[in-house]
């Protein structure tokens, strides 16, 4: 897998060297029940090609209830053992495995979630990716792609500090990419970031040369992972947020505040990390665009909160056509409002304000697909869905209920395939 | 299976040696860990008989208001109606005169409040008090009728290291006495959020209380909760990242929709003040079911 990623990076470099965009059609993956070990004879993927093999899924709890949605009946839903995730804090899909932070090493009374764990569906149990020597810290934000992981580590007691780490490959020593200066003069929002193809882009607040607070968009790539400042703003006036990578392009949100900070404008821009001399391109016209995602195989989506509401609030989704520049509303049924979108090769997912219904957007079929919906008699909630490539992960919880809930996951149908309709 | 276990064991050994090593320092040095501050714990004394009676009276008044709404058929939108996508109070107010909109709009109510940033880490109570006092005194945009220091004094915030529910109610009593928007017969009370109808949920009760207070009495409310607890299932949208909080106050100023246990379309609108405390400052909404659950697992009480 890593060989493929490196090969893709080499191809990508060559493509940039001759000025050719490296986008192609996605390669369908095999069904979930078939294990195809990666081999050296397999062709390296292009920049927009998912991993050539989808791991076979180890036995896990299979829900007995038949999902209410057509997509829910099409996919195989698996779950992690509750004992593995009882001390979990955050989780994310990296396209082939589930990353999560946990305090399991400190027993059931662990107050923190200092360690990074990974569950690969083809294995029997989670593996520890990083044991944090600082046991009073927690990993509050996690992300990654195909074995490259990044995370934000911080105390939860209100201290103004965080550290942003990257593990290039399982078993390697983490690299400290960024850290908060530890003063209240600099906003303590933790970095937003995205890992893609041996690259990482993130946003962070820091001191400027005159002691002023700055908001920065940064970028680093293998093998040296040296941070490069892509953009920088006076944090009193504007902020940079939510980077999303595709090839070397970075989409991000810039929030420009009014003088009294009671109102703001939010715009989505795209800049090329390989051509930082070229000015960023603004995509939206609304002034309310945030949380952008550069979609694999072209297209950009973002979220817009209603006028007058913070960018962290629930909102509606929009799609930007990179060929025509047209912006259209993206359906999110059964949700009216969503937050924190994520995307794979074919499907776009999000947190739904109504946690009793669970659906995604299918780019191949150009429609929303329902996974499940629960009757009033149940107390099931679907929380924090996250997708990368074909792996969708979510938390299914009973509310009210004492335990955290159960991490569930499914490999969604690949781009270019449609098993129900063939 | 056997080979997989061997592989896992080898991997574990590798990880043990690799991962217990000090992380590679790259861009910046690792700052020395500082001692975590001890968050103040504000005690919530049980309600006195007099306070319970005041709460019961307010609940009865709210239920009477809601019964009147239901009797008038105003609690439902017709099936022909389209669910609006905009929830901006000003926009909705400007079109509210339209008869069609009146007939079709999803039931909702808002008050014209402005968010305020709390000026100290433990001043969420005074910040909520400022939002509510400014509304009550019909202050112009950007103006404050009282400072957060004044409100903190009335609420005993500095003396106690935080603001209890009854202290917040007492402070609001002082801050809104004689205010033009305060109803003639009004008392700030602390109410225990209970499952009055025994359906296993407290969200329906909370949504009714918010609706009665905002649309009936035209007054905001104050909610105490843990905004993004590390072990909680729900979190405020205004707090993107987890924090060990002793509790946090927000001001409720609006509602949308009819509560149902089969979905979470009923919403509660609130202001938050916590930009420099790990959260955000501004206007937000979350499903009422989420807010109710966060109140229930914290102190279980609110102020209205």
Domain span holding position B229? 109-303
Which residues of chain B are within 8 Å of residue A376 when distances are taken between CB atoms? 260-262
Spell out the long-range contacts of A264-272 with Cβ–Cβ below 8 A and sequence spacing 24 or more.
A264/A311, A266/A290, A266/A304, A266/A311, A268/A292, A268/A300, A268/A302, A268/A320, A270/A294, A270/A300, A271/A217, A271/A230, A271/A231, A272/A248
pLDDT at residue B108, rounded to an integer: 96
Q: What average pLDDT is seen over chain A?
A: 85
Contact (CB<8Å) A131/B200: no
**In angstroms, rounded to a whole number, what is the distance separating the alpha carbons of residues A30 and A36?**
8
By C-alpha distance, which of B139, B130, B131, B129 is closest to B114? Answer: B131
Q: For residue B293, tell me if it sits in a domain.
A: yes
Contact (CB<8Å) B285/A397: no
Note the pLDDT tens digit of each residue in B155-176: 999 999 999 999 999 999 999 9
By C-alpha distance, which of A261, A395, A335 is closest to B273? Answer: A261
**In angstroms, rounded to a whole number, what is the distance separating the alpha carbons of residues A322 and A326?**
8
pLDDT at residue A333, rounded to an integer: 95
pLDDT at residue A294, rounded to an integer: 98
Mutate to test the interface with B, among A56, A221, A226, A262 (most CBs of B within 10 A): A262
Which residues of chain A are within 8 Å of residue B240 when distances are taken between CB atoms? 189-190, 312
**Domain containing residue B212: CATH number:** 3.90.70
On the question of pLDDT at B242 being above 80, the answer is yes
Average pLDDT over residues A382-397: 97
By C-alpha distance, which of A113, A155, A167, A227 is closest to B21? Answer: A167
pLDDT at residue A57, rounded to an integer: 65
CA distance to A25, A212, B107, B111, B216, per residue, from B187 (Å): 66, 46, 26, 19, 15
CB pairs under 8 A between A and B: 195
Q: For residue B268, tell me if it sits in a domain.
A: yes
Count of Cβ atoms closer than 10 Å to residue A387 Cβ: 26
DSSP assignment of A336-359: SSEEEEEEESSEEEEEESSTTEEE
Which ranges of chain B would DSSP assign to H, the alpha helix? 2-19, 49-71, 89-95, 99-104, 124-136, 148-155, 157-160, 165-176, 203-211, 288-296
pLDDT at residue B200, rounded to an integer: 87
Contact (CB<8Å) A310/B90: no
Contact (CB<8Å) A353/B241: no
pLDDT at residue A376, rounded to an integer: 80
Mutate to test the interface with B, among A353, A376, A380, A407 (most CBs of B within 10 A): A353
Average pLDDT over residues A180-184: 89
**Could you tell me the pLDDT band of residue B104, with boundaries at 50, 70 and 90?**
low
Comparing A132-141, A313-322, A372-381, the range with the smallest average pLDDT is A372-381
Mutate to test the interface with B, among A183, A213, A309 (most CBs of B within 10 A): A309
Comparing A21-35, B55-69, B249-263, the range with the smallest average pLDDT is A21-35
Considering CB atoms only, which of B30, B233, B286 is closest to A163?
B30
On the question of pLDDT at A152 being above 50, the answer is yes
Evaluate whether B51 touches B166 at the Cβ level (below 8 Å).
yes
Which residues of chain A are within 8 Å of residue B121 when distances are taken between CB atoms? 158
Q: For residue B146, tell me if it sits in a domain.
A: yes
Please report where in the chains the tokens 């109102």 appear, as a residue: A263
**Could you tell me the pLDDT band of residue A348, with boundaries at 50, 70 and 90?**
very high
Q: How many CA atoms lie within 13 A of A49 on its CB side?
A: 22
Contact (CB<8Å) A310/B267: no
Considering CB atoms only, which of A89, A124, A310 is closest to B284?
A310
Evaluate whether B210 touches B269 at the Cβ level (below 8 Å).
no
On the question of pLDDT at B296 being above 90, the answer is yes
Considering CB atoms only, which of B200, B241, B280 is closest to A140?
B241
Q: Walk me through the domains of chain A, giving residue ranges and CATH numbers.
A: 1-56 (no CATH), 60-411 (2.120.10.30)
Contact (CB<8Å) B11/A171: yes
Average pLDDT over residues A396-403: 85
Closest residue in B to A152 (Cα–Cα): B241
Average pLDDT over residues A130-142: 96
The complex scores an ipTM of: 0.82
The CA distance from A95 to the nearest CA of chain B, in Å, is: 21
Note the pLDDT tens digit of each residue in B55-77: 999 999 999 999 999 888 766 55
Domain count, chain B: 1
Which residues of chain A are within 8 Å of residue B26 when distances are taken between CB atoms? 175-177, 225-227
Q: For residue B171, tell me if it sits in a domain.
A: yes
On the question of pLDDT at B295 being above 90, the answer is yes
Closest residue in B to A136 (Cα–Cα): B36
pLDDT at residue A17, rounded to an integer: 29
Contact (CB<8Å) B87/A405: no
Give burial (CB, 10 Å; 0-12/13-18/19+) of B198.
exposed
Q: For residue B55, tell me if it sits in a domain.
A: no
pLDDT at residue A60, rounded to an integer: 58
**Could you tell me the pLDDT band of residue B85, with boundaries at 50, 70 and 90?**
very low
Which residues of chain B are within 8 Å of residue A155 when distances are taken between CB atoms? 33, 36
Contact (CB<8Å) B15/A131: yes
Q: For residue B100, tell me if it sits in a domain.
A: no
**Could you tell me the pLDDT band of residue A1, with boundaries at 50, 70 and 90?**
very low
Note the pLDDT tens digit of each residue in A269-288: 999 999 999 999 999 999 99
The CA distance from B278 to the nearest CA of chain A, in Å, is: 7
């Amino acid at each position: 897998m890593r060989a493929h990623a490196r090969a893709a990076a080499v191809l990508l470099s060559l493509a940039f060297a001759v000025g050719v965009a490296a986008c192609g059609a996605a390669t369908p993956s095999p069904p979930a029940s078939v294990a195809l070990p990666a081999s050296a004879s397999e062709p390296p993927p292009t920049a927009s090609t998912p991993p050539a093999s989808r791991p076979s899924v180890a036995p896990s709890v299979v829900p007995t209830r038949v999902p209410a949605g057509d997509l829910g009946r099409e996919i195989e839903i698996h779950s992690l053992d509750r004992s593995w995730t009882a001390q979990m804090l955050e989780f994310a899909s990296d396209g082939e495995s589930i990353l999560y932070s946990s305090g399991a090493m400190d027993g059931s009374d662990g107050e923190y979630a200092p360690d990074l764990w990974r569950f690969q569906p083809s294995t029997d149990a989670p593996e520890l990716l990083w044991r944090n020597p600082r046991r009073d810290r927690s990993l509050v934000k996690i992300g990654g792609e195909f074995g490259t992981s990044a995370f934000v580590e911080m105390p939860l007691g209100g201290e103004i500090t965080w550290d942003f780490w990257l593990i290039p490959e399982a078993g390697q020593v983490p690299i400290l990419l960024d850290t908060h200066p530890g003063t209240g003069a600099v906003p303590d929002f933790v970095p937003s970031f995205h890992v893609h193809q041996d690259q990482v882009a993130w946003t962070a607040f820091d001191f400027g040369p005159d002691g002023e607070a700055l908001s920065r968009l940064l970028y680093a790539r293998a093998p040296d992972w040296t941070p490069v400042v892509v953009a920088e703003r006076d944090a009193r006036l504007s902020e940079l947020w939510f980077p999303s990578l595709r090839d070397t392009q970075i989409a991000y949100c810039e929030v420009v505040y009014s003088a009294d900070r009671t109102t703001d404008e939010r715009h989505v821009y795209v800049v090329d990390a390989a051509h930082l001399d070229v000015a960023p391109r603004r995509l939206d016209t609304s002034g309310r665009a945030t949380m952008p995602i550069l979609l694999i195989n072209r297209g950009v989506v973002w979220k817009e909160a209603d006028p007058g509401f913070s960018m962290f609030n629930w909102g509606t989704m929009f799609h930007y056509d990179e060929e025509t520049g047209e912006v259209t509303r993206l359906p999110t049924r059964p949700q009216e409002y969503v937050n924190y979108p994520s995307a794979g090769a074919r499907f776009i997912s999000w947190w739904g304000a109504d946690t009793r219904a669970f659906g995604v957007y299918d780019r191949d079929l150009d429609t929303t697909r329902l996974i499940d919906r629960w009757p009033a008699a149940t107390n099931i909630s679907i929380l924090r869905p996250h997708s990368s490539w074909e792996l969708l992960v979510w938390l299914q919880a009973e509310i009210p209920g004492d335990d955290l809930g159960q991490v569930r996951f499914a490999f969604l149908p690949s781009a270019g395939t449609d098993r129900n309709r063939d | 299976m056997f080979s997989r276990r061997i592989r896992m064991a080898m991997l574990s050994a590798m990880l043990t040696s690799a991962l217990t090593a000090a992380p590679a320092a790259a861009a910046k040095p690792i700052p020395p860990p500082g001692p975590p501050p001890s968050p103040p714990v504000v005690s919530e004394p049980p309600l006195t008989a007099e306070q319970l009676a005041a709460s019961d009276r307010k609940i009865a008044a709210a239920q009477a208001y809601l019964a009147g709404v239901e009797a008038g058929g105003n609690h439902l939108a017709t099936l022909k109606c389209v669910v609006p996508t905009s929830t901006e109070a000003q926009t909705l107010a400007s079109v509210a005169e339209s008869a069609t909109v009146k007939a079709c709009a999803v039931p909702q109510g808002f008050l014209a409040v402005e968010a305020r940033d709390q000026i100290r880490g433990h001043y969420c109570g005074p910040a909520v008090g400022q939002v509510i006092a400014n509304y009550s005194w019909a202050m112009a945009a950007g103006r404050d009728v009282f400072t957060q220091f004044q409100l903190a004094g009335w609420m005993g915030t500095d003396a106690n290291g935080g603001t209890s529910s009854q202290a917040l109610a007492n402070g609001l009593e002082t801050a809104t006495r004689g205010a033009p928007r305060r109803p003639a017969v009004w008392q700030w009370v602390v109410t225990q959020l209970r499952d009055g109808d025994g359906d296993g949920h407290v969200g329906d009760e909370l949504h009714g209380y918010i609706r009665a207070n905002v649309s009936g009495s035209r007054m905001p409310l104050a909610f105490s909760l843990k905004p993004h607890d590390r072990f909680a299932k729900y979190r405020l949208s205004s707090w993107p990242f987890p924090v060990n909080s002793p509790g946090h106050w927000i001001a409720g100023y609006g509602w949308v929709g009819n509560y149902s246990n089969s979905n979470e379309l009923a919403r509660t609108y609130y202001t938050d003040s916590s930009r420099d405390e790990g959260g955000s400052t501004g206007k937000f909404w979350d499903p009422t079911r989420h807010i109710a659950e966060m109140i229930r697992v914290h102190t279980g009480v609110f102020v209205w």
